[in-house]
Amino acid sequence: MEHAELTLRRQLIDTCRSFGLSGLSQGTSGNASVRWQHGMIVTPSAMPYERIRPSDLVWMGFDGSRRGRRPPSSEWRFHQRILAERADAGAVVHVHSPAATALACLRLPIPAFHYMVAVAGGDSIRCAPYSLFGTETLADAVIEALDGRTAALLANHGQVTVGVSLDAAYRLAVEVESLADQYLRARTVGEPRRLTARQMREVLDRFVHYRNGTLDDLDGGPARP
């Protein structure tokens, strides 16, 4: 295994071990992948993150080829589809974070209640319809929900984020969880007032400036202004 691949594998493990520390996922729930050569490196199925070693990760080619001693995550299909179909995607993170999952179980998107919703690339964070985990039907739903976006909720399941790097995808997942928590809290009092389409366009235009400037804190997404 060449040094660059080994480094990437270690980064992937470190990212997944951060899930529990940040509260994004518990136990073996959640998974992640990163682009490598003509395919991806993805986490193995049902293995505690603290026990995963670089050799436990699975490489899967976009042509269906595979290298690794363990089975890949059950959600490899939507990881593979995202990375194969989106040139802007360098990594994918999927977690069952509490607030985002609560909204997903209500089958609610995150609307433009706060300008930072634009961090995912649009005026809402969509919720994909429910499909059984690990299926091609779920992969189809994820691809559709992510159209023009870098984050989505998955009905009765969790959330998924896309980034140019593992760090970007991970930090976006943290941001989505924060937004979901804020939205849930606001809804305990009443339905939050939403920003208008014009206001969100202004935010999205400003975020382009942050991406292209020196304040690109999310390595593919804007810093909190």
d(CA 71, CA 92): 18
DSSP line for 98-126:
HHHHHHHHTT--B-SSSGGGGGGTSSSB-
Block residue for tokens 């520390």 = 21
Rounded average pLDDT over 10-14: 97
pLDDT at residue 221 tops 70:
no
What phi, psi does 32 have (nearest 5°)? -155, 160
The tokens for 171 are 């930090």
Q: How confident is the model at residue 216 (pLDDT cuts 50, 70, 90)?
A: very low
Tokens 């999927």 appear where?
A: 94
Across 120-128, average pLDDT = 97
Q: What's the whole-number mean pLDDT along residues 116-132?
A: 97
Virtual torsion, Cα 217, 218, 224, 225, nearest 10 deg = 50
Q: Round to whole Å and give the CA distance between 151 and 46.
A: 24
State the pLDDT confidence band at 167, using cuts at 50, 70 and 90.
very high
Domain architecture of the chain: domains with CATH: 3-212 (3.40.225.10)
Average pLDDT score over residue span 188-211: 92
What is the average pLDDT value for the chain, to the nearest integer?
92
Using the predicted structure, report yes or no on whether residue 223 has a pLDDT greater than 80. no
Would you call 13 helix, strand, or coil by DSSP? Answer: helix
The answer to whether the CB of 79 falls within 8 A of the CB of 61 is no
Question: Catalytic site residues?
Answer: 75
Q: What is the mean pLDDT of residues 84-104?
A: 97
pLDDT tens for residues 131-147? Answer: 999 999 999 999 999 99
Cα separation, 49 vs 53, in Å, equals: 9
pTM of the model: 0.92
